[in-house]
Amino acid sequence: MSSLVLSFQEMEQTQLLLVGGKGLNLGELSKIEGIQVPEGFCVTTVGYQKAIEQNETYHALLDRLTMLKIEDRDQIGEISRKIRHAITEVEMPSDVVKAVTHYLSQFGEEHAYAVRSSATAEDLPHASFAGQQDTYLNIIGKEAILQHISKCWASLFTDRAVIYRMQNGFDHSQVYLSVIVQRMVFPQASGILFTADPMTSNRKLLSIDASFGLGEALVSGLVSADGYKVQDGQIVDKRIASKKLAIYGRKEGGTETKQIEPEQQNTQTLTDQQILQLAHIGREIEAYFGQPQDIEWCLADDTFYIVQSRPITTLYPIPEANDQENHVYLSVGHQQMMTDAMKPLGLSFFLSTTLAPMHTAGGRLFVDITSRLASPAGREALLNMGQSDPLFEDALMTIIERDFIKLLPNDEKEAGKSNKAMPSAGARTQIDSDPAIVSDLIKRNQASIEELKQNIHTKSGSDLFDFIVDDMQQLKKILFDPQSSAVFMAAMDASAWINENMNKWLGEKNAADTLSQSVPNNITSEMGLALLDVADVIRPYPEVIEYLQHTKNDNFLDGLLKLHGGQETQKAIHDYLDKYGMRCAGEIDITRTRWSEKPITLVPLILGNIKNFEPNASQRKFEQGRQEALQKEQELLERLQQLPDGEQKAKETKRMIDLVRNFIGYREYPKYGMVNRYFVYKQALLKEAQQLVQAGVIDEKEDVYYLTLAEFHEAVRTNKLDYQLISQRKDDHKRYEKLTLPRMITSDGEIIAGKYKRENLPDGAIAGLAVSSGVIEGRARVILNMEKADLEDGDILVTAFTDPSWTPLFVSIKGLVTEVGGLMTHGAVIAREYGLPAVVGVENATKLIQDRQQIRVHGTEGYIEIL
């Protein structure tokens, strides 16, 4: 056995670096009993390295390529072309020629072969690289095969392969190419088989594409293919395409495109029996590899041949259940405005802070709603929840209509229990609207955090971990304090009551939106206004402004003291960070960098405030919103007095308005308290991480982010850790970051996406959920990273989601569009308080709306028009 060439049978599972992803998969496929794989061999990466090691032109060009960035498209194209030329022109090493000749003589030099590339960074679990390198079909004769091996080597440097590696962070010099030489099959039909449906991710639904001739026609998009779906051994869907062309092998080598006879064009490529036979083969291959596969197949002389199988890398992982029953999982990230992947330490903290049992998958959190869907009372409660999120409601209806979760007979005791646990909206609004209730709750929370700060300083090692675990019970008590929940639930119910009754009695839509402006005790909206006050402190000092415009240094606060006004600036920023520095984007993940850890994040926002606002803007904004709310209140009450039974209607409405004005601001406080505590824990834990770095247990403090809290505790206790675990988790996290979080997923892996059911929308309008009234036109700014925000006064912010850390941007904008959100999620609450028209839950908003496009946001009706 030569290390230069290996037959499929000679390959070992550990030889990825020798034969690449495709080659390794073919080696594995050829070991599965009963699966037909055309025979062949691999020219290993050792052969490729031999070919390039003495090639000076290649190495000089590669050095130049490594210096380029993804934007340098022209230079990438030019250097890549020169590298390809340098590889194909050089003479192939004689021992490689000898090894290829030996294997060809064994398999028969007279046969036709497919010559295909197999890179070491290909068909990996986290990056497929599919289609990045070249394939050549029907190559006949030793000389032609050797020539095409060189061409495959060169295709490692096609423009698309080079750019793909740059995008995925792969080093060009560390990716090698193996070449597969495989006996050609001349099929009557071929295609692709996915053992999980690529459209819905359903693992039980198998999807087959089939067309006549060689599969290249299908892969290259030359022809439409038949589509068949198979579930549980039954064909559940068939789509017969009109197939006018096919690619066939020519006797003398190479391929040609031919017209298909008219009478054959609309016939089914595979018979029903063949479809089921192929589906069975797909399931066997999937079982062997232990995960869903993307399989290339061809049919010749009534035999199915498998020419490739790779993992499907785009599927969202399924939350784990311990049984074989049907389950439905709901994303927590869509409720918490954090759809990014979280690191293990962040997940373990959040899991310890909640009451509901949760599952993790793909670095995100899910709640299993199966038991609630199975009970009539639980189902009704979920549908009520859906009223504030139509996409969730529609997805829920899909599940209910399919009878995916069977409804259990209503147990009256259970129903009574579920109703008692959650008082009705009417009962909740009977609470006294005394503002002192909120002040007391806030004082208790602040006192508890001060006590935590005092006590945690005295703890270290195992004691610290035990202390934090105990303190999290205190955090849970505060978060789920019945009085605390009753306060903001009463405000939310009162808000819904106002909207419903003002519409019924006065024809006034979303009246509560205006009434919610500039309410007291909203810690998050105060945070946005407080940054305007910071800008006021800095505005008189041009030298400081100039310094801030050019600083890139994380320690910029120290440099301020040399400047006129620097001391005042430093104090203003420090005071701001004392109150709000524990916040950041994605703040429910304890591992995310807080503003106090990286204050430079706030600099562009402060500079934007100096540029876009006059002094005292915060007071003016707050007062303007308060006056608008008071005027709206007065107007509604006066109009109600004119109605039959108007006195009583006005009295009840006034009570509801007081509940909203006094209590809705508190809605943002519990999360602020939680994030405050998280930051105290984090600072103490990072000291322990530093000890592990000094002891040589980990490389850098941030490595502990890839451990759960219990694993971190164990590493501190024993001063030991298998570093392989951290490396694996880092790779997993990179993979998870690329996945799109589904709002709802089933135990079959199917992603259930809801749709808006809307009539009378203007042509071309993009539908969403109306959460803050008003209509506004302006320039869309599509911003995915808050730190890169460059807003002018009056822009409309379009983003994936906003959590409290985005609030300082809200003072500069005049409208909001987000992809994720509901009626009571963060962005909606703050938009109403600032009086900004807002539409949330707009699927793919950041792709459908382009940066700097003029748009109109209909915050009352819930849609966007591109002007």
Q: Give the active site residues.
A: 826
Q: What is the DSSP string of 564-620?
A: TTHHHHHHHHHHHHHHHTT--TTTTSTTSPPTTT-GGGGHHHHHHHHHH--TTHHHH
From the centroid of its chain, how far is CA 234?
A: 34
Contacts of 861 (CB under 8 A, 6+ apart): 770
The candidate with the shortest Cα–Cα distance to 95, out of 58, 43, 19, is 43
Supply 410's token pair.
Answer: 């209503």
Q: How many CB atoms lie within 10 A of CB 221?
A: 7
The Cα–Cα gap between 83 and 87 comes to 6
Q: In the numeric block, which tokens belong to residue 546?
A: 């100039």
Q: Which residues pair with 432 in a beta bridge?
A: none
Locate 834 and state its tokens: 């600032």
Helix (H, G, I), strand (E, B) or coil at 751: strand
Angle at 446 between CA 440 and CA 451, to 5 degrees: 125
Entry field: residues in the chain: 867
Cβ neighbors of 742 (< 8 A, separation 6 or more) are 201, 316, 331, 751, 752, 753
Which residue in 262, 211, 207 sits closest to 235, CA to CA? 207
Backbone angles phi and psi of 74, in degrees to 5: -65, -45
Alpha carbons 140 and 134: distance in angstroms, whole number: 17
Cβ burial, residue 130 (10 Å; 0-12/13-18/19+): middle
Q: What is the CA radius of gyration of the chain?
A: 32
Q: What distance lies between CA 490 and its chain's CA centroid?
A: 33
Q: What is the DSSP string of 256-313?
A: EEEEPPHHHHTS-SS-HHHHHHHHHHHHHHHHHHTS-EEEEEEEETTEEEEEEEEE-T
- Rounded to whole angstroms, the maximal C-alpha distance in the chain is 101
Six-digit token pair at 61? 């060009």
Query: Cβ atoms within 10 A of the Cβ of 810, count?
Result: 23
DSSP-derived letter for residue 409 is P
**Torsion angles phi and psi, residue 516, rounded to 5:** -90, 0
Q: Where are the alpha helices (DSSP H) in 695-799?
A: 709-718, 723-737
Provide DSSP, 83-138.
HHHHHHHSPPPHHHHHHHHHHHHHH-TTSEEEEEEEETTSS-SS---TTSS-EEEE
**Residue 233: left (phi > 0), alpha (psi -120 to 50), or beta?**
left
Q: Is 865 helix (H, G, I), strand (E, B) or coil?
A: strand
Residues with Cβ within 8 Å of 747's Cβ and at least 6 positions away in sequence, in order, are: 318, 321, 325, 326, 327, 328, 329
Backbone angles phi, psi at 23, to 5 degrees: -60, -45
Distance, in Å, from the CA atom of 540 to the CA atom of 566, rounded to the nearest integer, reads 11
Rounded (10°) CA dihedral 29, 31, 33, 36: 50
Q: Of 707, 701, 671, give the one whose Cα is nearest residue 588.
A: 671
